Amino acid sequence: MQEEQYYEEIEHLIKKNEIGKRARRIEENYSLVETYWRIGKIIVEAQGGSKRAKYGNKLIKKWSIKLTTAYGKGYDETNLKRFRKFYLCFEKSGMLCHLLSWSHYRYLITVKDEKRRNYYINLCIKNNLSVRELRKEIKSNSYERLVNKLEKIEIEMPKTYSITTDMKNPIIIPIQSKVNNEHDLELNILANLDYFFKQLGNGFAYIAHQYKLVKNNHNYFVDILLFNIELNCYAVLELKLRSLRKEDKAQMEFYMKLVDEQVKKSFHNKTVGIIISKESDEFIVNFIKREDIIPLNYELKESMKE
């Protein structure tokens, strides 16, 4: 093996690791928001309900001492009160909490008026505001400066998109090294995720590759697990450098079912599947949504410098 090939292998490993770190941060944020909401819910219930919880009691102080000793200052009295407030603000709409990061919610729960708070939530969702941009909107009294204020403002869920709404056809996967097998194709996709997602459609986020699922003491590994924010569902991506077979669809449906059972949250839509297969000299992207298969061509091209 030549020096350049060794370097390419090292670069692939580094790229995979960097992509994995970004994806883990996204997944950790979803988990963080849900955990804090649930902690707030338990605190409120332990205090005897939302009306009484507004006034608080010695329980939070007692628990904060124990939790801070065991897990650090992230669970001090101030933060436990913040979690309780988070739940009280979103008591009836917990399923919406995954839409933004915890850093967003830390500022949003300081907005006491629900209508005003919902306005800023919708602003974040619609314009993909960063935390800094959200703070700027709140400090500049963006809501108060509205000429026409609605009598009631509800949180607006992101628009529902069809899986084929904004996909390209053919989908182009830039190639940086030879593709001799499915593993090589996986590495090329992982090394070019941002570009690949733009081809695949809006809202896709990387979760993991070779994601392990367990059923009846048997391990199964999904080539690449994605999540689509706009469709609010997981997407299983499998790679086949051969023609699509009947058993591939059955395997995909099995993986989709496992993800629904083991990974999917109650507020997520059902998992969809994507199989990339090779038909003669063409490569095809097959989208699977339960019984439906939607074939789309895709091409492998050398990476283009921007």
Here the CATH number for the domain that contains residue 178 is: 3.40.1350
Q: Quick one: 46 and 120 in the same domain?
A: yes
**Is 166 a member of any domain?**
no
**Is 8 a member of any domain?**
yes
Q: Quick one: 103 and 57 in the same domain?
A: yes
Q: Quick one: 178 and 294 in the same domain?
A: yes
pLDDT value of residue 162: 46
**Is 151 a member of any domain?**
no
Amino acid at 236: V
Q: Quick one: 258 and 200 in the same domain?
A: yes
Q: Quick one: 135 and 177 in the same domain?
A: no
pLDDT tens across 123-143, in order?
888 777 888 999 999 999 889
**Is 150 a member of any domain?**
no
Q: Quick one: 183 and 119 in the same domain?
A: no
Contact between 67 and 80 under an 8 Å Cβ cutoff? The reply is yes
| Overall domain count for the chain | 2
Could you identify the residue written with the tokens 């607006």? 156
Which residues on adjacent β-strands are paired with residue 205? 227
Q: Quick one: 124 and 8 in the same domain?
A: yes
**Is 144 a member of any domain?**
no
Contact between 278 and 149 under an 8 Å Cβ cutoff? The reply is no
Q: Quick one: 44 and 91 in the same domain?
A: yes
| Residue (of 44, 54, 154, 37) closest to 101 by Cα position | 37
Q: Quick one: 175 and 296 in the same domain?
A: yes
Q: Quick one: 134 and 175 in the same domain?
A: no
Q: Which two tokens stand for residue 133?
A: 């941009």
**Is 135 a member of any domain?**
yes
pLDDT value of residue 55: 57
Q: Strand 218-228 to strand 292-302: parallel, antiparallel, or no bridges (unpaired)?
A: unpaired
DSSP conformation letters of the chain:
--HHHHHHHHHHHHHHHHHHHHHHHHHHHHHHHHHHHHHHHHHHHHTTSHHHHTT--HHHHHHHHHHHHHH-GGGSHHHHHHHHHHHHHTTT-GGGGGGS-HHHHHHHTT---HHHHHHHHHHHHHHT--HHHHHHHHHTTTTTT-SS--S--PPPPPPP--TTSS--SSEEEEESS---SHHHHHHHHHHTHHHHHHHH-TTEEEEEEEEEEEETTEEEEEEEEEEETTTTEEEEEEE-SS---HHHHHHHHHHHHHHHHHT--TTSPPPEEEEEEEETTEEEEEEEETTEEEEEEEEEEE----
pLDDT value of residue 272: 84
Q: Which two tokens stand for residue 4?
A: 């350049």
CA–CA distances in Å: residue 117 to residues 83, 105, 121: 17, 10, 6
**Is 159 a member of any domain?**
no
pLDDT value of residue 78: 92
Contact between 43 and 80 under an 8 Å Cβ cutoff? The reply is yes
HSE-up of 13 (CA within 13 Å, CB side)? 6
Low-confidence ranges of the chain (pLDDT < 70): 1, 15-16, 18-27, 50-57, 93-98, 157-179, 192-199, 279-306
Residue count (the chain) = 306
Q: Quick one: 109 and 209 in the same domain?
A: no
pLDDT value of residue 109: 93
pLDDT tens across 24-37, in order?
666 677 778 888 89
139, 162, 192 - which closes a domain: 139
What phi, psi does 213 have (nearest 5°)?
Answer: -125, 145
89, 120, 139 - which closes a domain: 139
**Is 126 a member of any domain?**
yes
Range of the domain at 122: 3-139
pLDDT value of residue 301: 44
Q: Quick one: 11 and 132 in the same domain?
A: yes
pLDDT value of residue 99: 72
